[in-house]
Amino acid sequence: MNEQELASLADRFRSMLRLAVFVSRRLDGDLELSTTQLSILTMCGNDGLRMGVIAGNLGVRVPSATEQVSRLERAGLLERHADPKDARAVVVRRTPRGDKTAAEVSRRRTARMVDVLETLEPAELEALRTALPVMDKINERLHSISNPKERIA
């Protein structure tokens, strides 16, 4: 693939990323838990996770994770526990109600997505399936790019 084709693919892929944000909003924007909250609930099994790990999995800073966890705790879906090995740390676990809610919400959300996917051709579904691992790889690659921050508008 030559330079120009690559640039064209890059451009269209950038548009696709933006589209993914829309799709995500359309799909999840009206439900009980935000996508982030459902992710947290899903990853904190009954074994529990450290706050820092949650943040890392989400791709956000620790204080952002703290905020979401606190909210889910207030809603009775998660609990903070002391880590016996390290008094600095916190272990976040789902409550029984959290288990139930996570399962329900996830089921509803997947069902909605299935409704959409059902309208597609088999070849299109195959295209989707094939592209999934590529996105993972791209995400990994981007870990290596750094981030200052300044906006002009």
Minimum distance from residue 85 beta carbon to a copy of itself (Å): 29
Question: Quick one: which of 51, 61, 71, 88 contacts a copy of itself (CB under 8 A)?
Answer: 71
Task: Provide the 10 A C-beta neighbour count for residue 153.
Answer: 2
By CB under 8 A, residue 95 contacts a copy of itself: no
- Nearest to residue 56, comparing CAs of 65, 47, 48? 65
Residue 27 binds which entry of a copy of itself, DNA, none, CB below 5-8 Å type-dependent: a copy of itself
Q: Would you state the structure tokens that stand for residue 45, as one six-digit string?
A: 């099994």
Report the alpha-carbon distance of residue 95 to residue 73 in Å, rounded.
9
- Nearest to residue 38, comparing CAs of 63, 61, 68, 62? 68
Residue 93 binds which entry of a copy of itself, DNA, none, CB below 5-8 Å type-dependent: none
By CB under 8 A, residue 2 contacts a copy of itself: no
Angle at 104 between CA 75 and CA 120, to 5 degrees: 130
By CB under 8 A, residue 103 contacts a copy of itself: no
By CB under 8 A, residue 77 contacts a copy of itself: yes
Site string for a copy of itself, 10-49 (x = CB under 8 A): xxxxx-xxxxxxxxxxxx-xx-xxxx-x-x----------
By CB under 8 A, residue 97 contacts a copy of itself: no
φ/ψ region of 48 (left if φ > 0, alpha if ψ in -120 to 50, else beta) reads: left
By CB under 8 A, residue 102 contacts a copy of itself: no
Using only C-alpha atoms, what is the Rg of the chain?
Answer: 19
By CB under 8 A, residue 138 contacts a copy of itself: yes
Residue 136 binds which entry of a copy of itself, DNA, none, CB below 5-8 Å type-dependent: a copy of itself
